[in-house]
Structure 1
Amino acid sequence: MLGPVETRSVSPVFVGRAEELGTLHDALVRAREGEPQALLIGGEAGVGKTRLVEEFAAAARHRGAVVALGGCVEIGADGLPFAPFSTALRSLRRELPGELAAAAAGQEEELARLLPELGESKAGRHDEDGMARLFELTARLLERVAAEHTVVLALEDLHWADASTRHLLSYLFRTLRTGRLVVVATYRSDDIHRRHPLRPLLAELDRLRTIRRLELARFNRDEVGRQVAGILAHEPEPDRIDAIFERSDGNAFFVEELAVAAHEGCRAGLTDSLRDLLLVRVEGLPETAQQIARIVAEGGSTVEYRLLAAVARLAEDDLIEALRAAVNASILAPAPGGDGYRFRHSLVREAVGDDLLPGERSRLNRRYAEALETDPALVPADQRATRLASYWYHAHDAAKALPAVLEASVEARRRHAYSEQLRLLERAMELWDTAPDAVRRTLRPVDDAEVYPP
């Protein structure tokens, strides 16, 4: 069993995406009939965009299509000019050297701006007319190559695309009218903040009826189970699937990492590489926004805005600016149906929490507990006792935690939450010996009727 696990973290079984793959296959059929197709595939990082494109590319090759892959490259603040087109055309030249040479005949000097292998680029005009001519020649080149061969042009990571790449892609989507061509482009939806340069292009392309746009959702519990089974090469226990599904939020990449980490006995359940990857974007935030992320990580799955403000102790303008930075970076998200914030991924919250120093974690929990004691209305009434008990417990203040935990256990019993009551009473036993005598003497005994459900 160990052999397959050690050599692969990616499931050999393609899971889910039947509808999306069907849409791509339909586009291939239409393209083979001479109707060019354009598709945009969006989804958060790690959700499975690349895997979907790979599966489609393999199926397209099996049906006789020529597949040319290209990807945007992130360099500094902007991407490498025309990088995905240059890579894709280079791939096309390897697959169909004669056809591409014939299609480019007479225009090699200008097309060399995209594909240097065609020759020395012409020292022509560097204005809008010159760019428009390059775009037109590129469209004509693709149409000619795709006249006799079905061609799939797949461009990945548009969120890193430079302006020239975005403009060329927009031109192709608008002008390609003939040829057996499928153009597929992918982008990370969680990277497209309000001021991202790709956002206007997506809004513009949405209005074109010739473009189909797919948004990949996270996996459900059954799909996660099949993915884990493929990675481990055996059917995992239901409890393990439940745990991985809850922690991964159905993100395919996180499922892979957690499945292998659990199998290898990683104590924290997060490999060092995954933890580092999860923290990269957080560490790129301004310092105040990083501070807010750390505070939210200790507050619970969702933290109300007023509670967050009380704990952060920042001027309101500074707090809002920090929250905006964290939301734009897709670290935090407004809580649905409420006035609060949560992490977009529970694993990012876990990684941020794990990165806190022991004293830092205790201090933050004490701040939460003190803020809640000062103003109980900061959280919903049905959560108050449980959250206060949790904050004091993780603040390592036995004198405050013991009575709070016992009160929360009584509230849990009142609501017939007996498993939660048992967990709280176990915490009370843990705290009993470390709590001051003066605190223990103020607590009334808990009888069997309060501990055991009727």
Structure 2
Amino acid sequence: MLGGVETKSVSPVFVGRTGELATLTDAFARADAGEPQALLVGGEAGVGKTRLVEEFAAAVRVRGGVVALGGCVEIGADGLPFAPFSTALRQLRRELPEHLAAAAEGQEEELARLLPELAVAAAREARRDEQGMARLFELTARLLERVAAEHTVVLVLEDLHWADASTRHLLAYLFRTLRTGRLVVLATYRSDDIHRRHPLRPLLAELDRLRTVHRVELGRFSREEVHRQIAGILDREPEPGRVDDIFERSDGNAFFVEELAVAADEGRRTGLTDSLRDLLLVRVENLPESAQRVVRIVAEGGSTVEDRLLAAVAGLGEDDLIEALRAAVNAGVLTPAPDRDGYRFRHSLVREAVSDDLLPGERSRLNRRFAEALEAQPALVPADERPTRLASYWYHAHDAAKALPAVLDASVVARRRHAYAEQLRLLERAMELWDAVPGTVRAGLRPLDHAEAYPPPPPDCDEGPCAGP
């Protein structure tokens, strides 16, 4: 609650997507002029595909169009046959009952495979061979063209990544053969679910070659768009620091922004709601045990973990490690680092959720193994990162005697790079560790001179707390 006003989990303000929405509305205008349109909308889970479709559907209805929406359903390894078409046609029948009945007249028995309500009492068994399937596809295309002869119809099929083979084949047929009618066929899918062996992948490649099919890819929000989204959720201007934090942690994913904004406003300590944490961990929990183990290791290794460092900490055979990494990459949990030989989480919030899910002793043990591996082989990470990462590993391993000298060394390196804010944070961490370290360890530390210990004040700071000691 905000001063008696309930915080909204979804922004009432439609943020961004100006270009994408313009593409959809332009397709509707072309269809309204008699030119059928085919569109594919892709994007990662939570990026805002459904919200875009909702805004488009609202605009279509304002302009007098008819929207028929159906969604694919995930059942086991494959979806329900023709599920999105059945749902959409059922909705179309409610919107235009007389027109659909007239369009289906004489072909009710075969079209009943898609829409059972069309079956008549004396229905004969529809042919189920390949010839029968081809006829069903042809009849479906003609049905939609006839219904769309007098009304502009938008047929929306959501979550194509869960589609069964029959749905994929029918959609491909429609995309290739629709030539007349005021019709828009729009399908959405999760791009992050389309792994190398996903059955939708060949279809997308095939449809890419059709000039009549338009692809729309939704990217993540910019900081300004995240700012506007949070303002809509909170119904007030958010603090700049909170916007920066949520933007960094969400990576601009619209759903994650919503969850983090509500969690922060409710004062949750971790900033992750239970529903968000559960969602983030679903893919990890579905991995083989060896892959889950590797994912937990990477979560404690830093934003990117190098191949050789990961191998040293994981303790797996080369082939076993490769198979575990392959499973995590194919599931969209990890991704190869673009700038070095190593791996990182595809989304930083997944890393945060995995790290939060570790047991305290498990986290300490993993950090100790990283620190020991790095001390034994310093060349495992880039030289400019080594002091800071070693200090972090020992600190989170809860080994004060090892952490204190590593933290002080890292603070010196930070000062030499003029990273004064980072140096101050490291010195504060050193003060936190000081009393937990035996006197013999403290006595052996190299003394820091004044120039190493204290960062200079900012140029515009003459007095007060910012001026330093």
* TM-score bracket relative to the smaller structure: over 0.9
TM-score (norm 2): 0.95
Q: Is the 8 A contact 1:41 1:184 kept in 2?
A: yes
The one-letter amino acid paired with 2:6 is E
1:171, 1:368 → 2: CA distance? 54
**Which residue is equivalent to 1:380?**
382
Shift of 1:438: 1.9
Shift of 1:53: 0.4
Cα deviation 1:286-342 (Å, max 9, x = unaligned):
001111110010001111111111111100111111111111110011111211111
**Which residue is equivalent to 1:154?**
156
Matches within 5 A, 1:220-299: 220-299=222-301
1:115–1:213 CA distance, 2 compared to 1 (3 A): same
**Which residue is equivalent to 1:186?**
188
**Which residue is equivalent to 2:73?**
73
**Which residue is equivalent to 1:129?**
131
Cα deviation 1:152-204 (Å, max 9, x = unaligned):
00000000000000000000000000000001100000000000000000000
**Which residue is equivalent to 1:105?**
105
**Which residue is equivalent to 2:413?**
411
Q: Is the 8 A contact 1:4 1:233 kept in 2?
A: no
Q: Is the 8 A contact 2:152 2:182 kept in 1?
A: yes
1:85, 1:13 → 2: CA distance? 31
Q: Is the 8 A contact 2:40 2:186 kept in 1?
A: yes
**Which residue is equivalent to 1:14?**
14
Matches within 5 A, 1:338-377: 338-377=340-379
Cα deviation 1:263-300 (Å, max 9, x = unaligned):
01111101111111111111000001111110010001
Shift of 1:251: 0.2
Q: Is 1-10 or 300-309 further displaced after alignment?
A: 1-10
**Which residue is equivalent to 2:463?**
none
Shift of 1:399: 1.1
Query: Does 1:24 pair with 2:24?
Result: yes
Q: Is the 8 A contact 1:307 1:371 kept in 2?
A: yes
**Which residue is equivalent to 2:454?**
452
Secondary structure of 1:242's aligned partner: helix
Shift of 1:5: 6.1
1:138, 1:40 → 2: CA distance? 20
Match 1:212 to one of 192, 214, 221:
214
Q: Is the 8 A contact 2:154 2:185 kept in 1?
A: yes
Query: Does 1:55 pair with 2:55?
Result: yes
**Which residue is equivalent to 1:421?**
423
1:416–1:55 CA distance, 2 compared to 1 (3 A): same
The one-letter amino acid paired with 2:71 is G
1:329, 1:12 → 2: CA distance? 32
Taking every aligned residue pair, what percent have the same amino acid on both sides? Answer: 83
**Which residue is equivalent to 1:95?**
95
The one-letter amino acid paired with 1:185 is A
**Which residue is equivalent to 2:2?**
2
Cα deviation 1:53-86 (Å, max 9, x = unaligned):
0000000000000000000000111001100000
Secondary structure of 1:2's aligned partner: coil
Unaligned segments of structure 2, at least 5 residues = 457-469
Q: Is the 8 A contact 2:39 2:187 kept in 1?
A: yes
Q: Is the 8 A contact 1:11 1:230 kept in 2?
A: yes
2:152, 2:113 → 1: CA distance? 25
Cα RMSD of the aligned pairs, angstroms, is: 1.1
Shift of 1:370: 0.6
Shift of 1:222: 0.2
Cα deviation 1:413-445 (Å, max 9, x = unaligned):
111111111111111111111112221111122
1:127, 1:4 → 2: CA distance? 63
The one-letter amino acid paired with 1:256 is E
Match 1:437 to one of 424, 436, 439:
439
The one-letter amino acid paired with 1:124 is A
1:264, 1:7 → 2: CA distance? 9
Q: Is the 8 A contact 2:336 2:344 kept in 1?
A: yes
**Which residue is equivalent to 1:64?**
64
Shift of 1:23: 0.3
TM-score (norm 1): 0.98
Shift of 1:119: 1.4
1:198, 1:124 → 2: CA distance? 27
2:305, 2:290 → 1: CA distance? 17
Shift of 1:7: 5.9
Aligned residues: 454
